[in-house]
Structure 1
């Protein structure tokens, strides 16, 4: 497989990673384009036989970090792309997906990125560690913490910290009250 064929083959995975980093579709597409341009200009530095996927993911991540340092801002994603779902979801499924999307957006960026790369893209912990320039144990820990936090948010488990538990209960009560009135509650979820 030629270098260009490998680049084309990895584009969908780069788009997913970029979306998990930027949380904005247009910014994700720009990030992928910039990363591919960087990879093409650095083609001579790629060593055939090494992990091309990890190399490309690292280029994309480094480009994101570089852009972030320049801008010092990111924007939120409002929803998960409908194309990711194979069939029409029921109303209940749509609510669950919206809750999951919201919970994913609230995860720390490093945990969200690790979870997306391992769970959605099927990347190994070793490849994740290489792509994000961290130890394998750190990569595993990020995925574990992200999964644990998502599970707690999605199942409604309250934190053990009393002050935090009181805040979470008050937030849930406020959300429930607004939902009963048919009002939006997303402003309550912004830090």
Structure 2
């Protein structure tokens, strides 16, 4: 009797989160969307597939983006990359080649938006803030990347330089900002 499992066989249909919740990527569904799972997942993922001069988390990136939009969009901006806590931060060239992944990311983002009562309909200001953050990150964290990124044409980096935070500090800052924004909007902070 052969007890080995072929490498391409899915043995569990879910991914366990930091808090022990289950994310089912093939459906997709999340047993319980928890802000601590999101904060932890984003804080311990390095932007640009780790190709930066210092560790710089998706959580810190999200904090920068949230700081650049009007107050009514800050919670949506803070959570604009929250799906990456469950799916990972895929580099742009691969994401373009894998439209199924983008569709999955959209579904997970919709689950998160529903959970936290946010609306990504007014995404243009968030996208612009995302590009400003990206231009700043390229300048400060990728000094050897001298090639032109066409989608940054006309985008000016922030005057202040990025000082990368340790993952634990980024997680705490993300959670504190989430709680502050939820309280500002009179929402529950229990998720």
- Does TM-score exceed 0.5, indicating one fold? no
Larger radius of gyration: 1
The TM-score, its normalising length taken from structure 1, stands at 0.35
Higher relative contact order (CA 8 A, sep 6+): 2
The TM-score, its normalising length taken from structure 2, stands at 0.35
